[in-house]
Structure 1
C-alpha cells in the first residue's frame, strides 16, 4: 500500500505560526480513496474545540478542492463545536462530522444533544459515530448514523462480528473499519461485510501546512465577495449576523450623525438597503485594513487607507467616479500581503475582484497600476519613480502633493 499524496496547502494567518492539518485516506474494497479524515496536528492549538474550527475555516477559504479534491471530508468534532457559525461556511454535501461519544453516557445528556445532531443532518451534513453508538445508551443517536467506525485497535475479533451484525440489523449506516494495520485485519472485516477501511496498512496520515484567517478576517472577506457579486440583502444580512462586532460597527456607522438620518435604523436589513452595495463594499474594505493578523503593525492598515484615498483623488482628475472607486480599492488592497501575512497573489485570490483590478495590484498594469506606483513613490520618497509615474499620467507634482495631503488628513480622520 502507498500513502496518499501530500498536497501543498497554504492559506492565511491566524496571527502567527501556521497550523498543521493532517489527512488520512478512507478506502473502499477496491482500494480506491473515497474520502479523507482531517484533523488538527498543530502544536500551537491544544484545545479540542479548536480542531473543528481550524479545519472548517481552512475549508471555507481554501476550498475543498485544495485539500481533498472531490472526496468526502471526515472531520473530528467536539460537541461544543457543533453549534459554531463556522459550519455555515461550507457546503455540507461532502462533509462528514465525526461525533465523539460522551464521557459518561447519561440518558438525559444523550437526549439533550439529539436536537443539534438532527438539525445538522437536516442541513445536509453526514454524521459518523464510533462503535459506542451501538450501545443501548446511545439508541436515540443510532438512526442518525450515516457511518459507524469500528476501532480495530480496541475491539476483539468476536466483538467485531457481533457489532457488525447488530449495526446491519438496527441501522442504515455504512461501516468503516479504522486503525487497520495488517492484511489479516483487513481480510477478517472484509469477509464480515465491511466495505470501507482506514489505517496504516492503507496509508499513514500526511501533514499539510495550513494558515487560517482569524474569524473576523474570514467574515469580512466573505462579506466583500458577496457585495462584489451583488448578492441580495438576505445573504449579506446572514453574514453580518454571524459576527457581532461586524454588525455592531455597521449599525454604529449607519446611525452616526455623518449620514444625516432623521430616524434611527434598528435592523441590519435596513442598514444594508440604506447604505447600498457601493458604500458597503468600501466600509468592509476599510474595516479589513483595521483587523490585525498579529503580524502586521498598526501603521500598515493606515498606510493602505491613505494610499487608497490618494489614488482615488488622483483618479478623479483622470477618470469617472466609478473608475476612481476602483483606484481606491487597488490602493487599499495593495498591502493585503502584509495585513494578512501571505503572498499578495494569494490574498487577491481570496477576493472576487475584476481582472483589471487584479492586474493593477499584481503587475502595476493600466492607469491604476501606474497610480499605485506613484502612490508608493510618494511614501518612499523615490523621486525618479515619482517623476516617471506622474509624467505617464499627465499629473503635475503640485496635483499629486495636494492630493497626498488631503489623503493623509482623511486617513487621520477615519482612524480617530
Structure 2
C-alpha cells in the first residue's frame, strides 16, 4: 500500500469520523476530528486538517470523493497556508466560539471569515452563532449545528424557528441519540442530522428479507458452498437486476479491472468463487433497501475497506479479503433484521469470520474493534486495538481516508 512518507509523521493526529446524514439517512458528509493518542502534543482539532492536506497531496487518488468534509478549526489555524492546497468546494470549516471574549473580538475575526467564504469555503457554527454578539458571523453561516446534549428540549423549536428566520444556513441536529429525537426534529423542520445512532440504529423487528436480499443471500450461500457455475447462474436468471448490479460493481473503477467482465460465467473464470463471494457481500451492503437506512450500508462498506487496507499491512491477501467481508458482515444483523448468529449460519460464513463476529477472537476481531473505534469516541479501546495490531497513526489515517473515498465510489 502506498502511504505518504515525510508529509505525515508517526506523531500525527489520529483521525476519527462521524457521518452527517439527510432525512433519508443518506450520508452527505463526514465530520473529521482529532483523537490523537498524544493529546498534549495535539491540542487543536484542526491538526486533522493538516494531516488531511498532506495526505491529499501525497497520492493520486481523490481522497475526498463526493462527500463534504466538516473539519474543526481553531481561529489561529484559519490563517494557515495549508488551506491554499485544498479544494474549498468540498470543505466545511467548523468555527469555534470565542467564549467570554466574544463581545470584544467577534468583529475582529469577521474579515478572516469573510475572506474564507469568498474563497469558496463553507462555514459551520455551533448554535452560539444565534447570539446577537455574533450577528456578523450568522450572515456567513452555511450550516448551524444544534447540540442536543446541551440544549433543553423545550428550546429546540424556538431556536430552529429563529435560525430559519434570521439566516439561510442549513441546520444540523448534532449528537442525536434516538429515533424519537430524529422523528421529532424532522417535524420541526430539521433536514440534516449527526450522531453515533446512525452508525448503529435500532434493530428492526421485521424478519422477512426484501426480495433482492433473498437473492443475494442465496447467491452468497452458493458461493460459499463452491456451487457449480450453472447453479449460480440459475439464481441470477431469476433476478436480472442482481446480475446487472453485480457486473456493474465488478467493472466499476473502484476495482481496477484490466478488462470488462461481460458475463457472470466470465467473472467466475477470471476471479474465482472466493472473490465473487467478497463482491456479493459488498453488493449486499451497497444496495439500498426499504427497511434499512443508506447510512448503514455506507458504514459497513467503510468498515470493510478500512479493515482490508489495514490487514494488507500484516496478513495474506486471502486474510485481507476475509477482513473486508468481516467488516461488511459486522452489520449483517441490521441489514437482514435477524440475529448475527442466524445470519452467519444462513450464509455459511467462513470460520475465522464467525469467530471474529460471534466470539471476538483473532486478528479479524481486533481489526473490527479498531474500525468501530474510528466511528466513536472510545479512545481507550482505539489505543488498545491499534497497539495490539502494531499499527501506526500514519497507517490508520491513510487507510481511513482511502476507505472513505473508496466507499464513496462504490455507493455513488
Question: TM-score by structure 2 length?
Answer: 0.47
Point out which structure has higher relative CO (alpha carbons under 8 A, 6+ apart): 2
Which structure has the bigger radius of gyration? 1
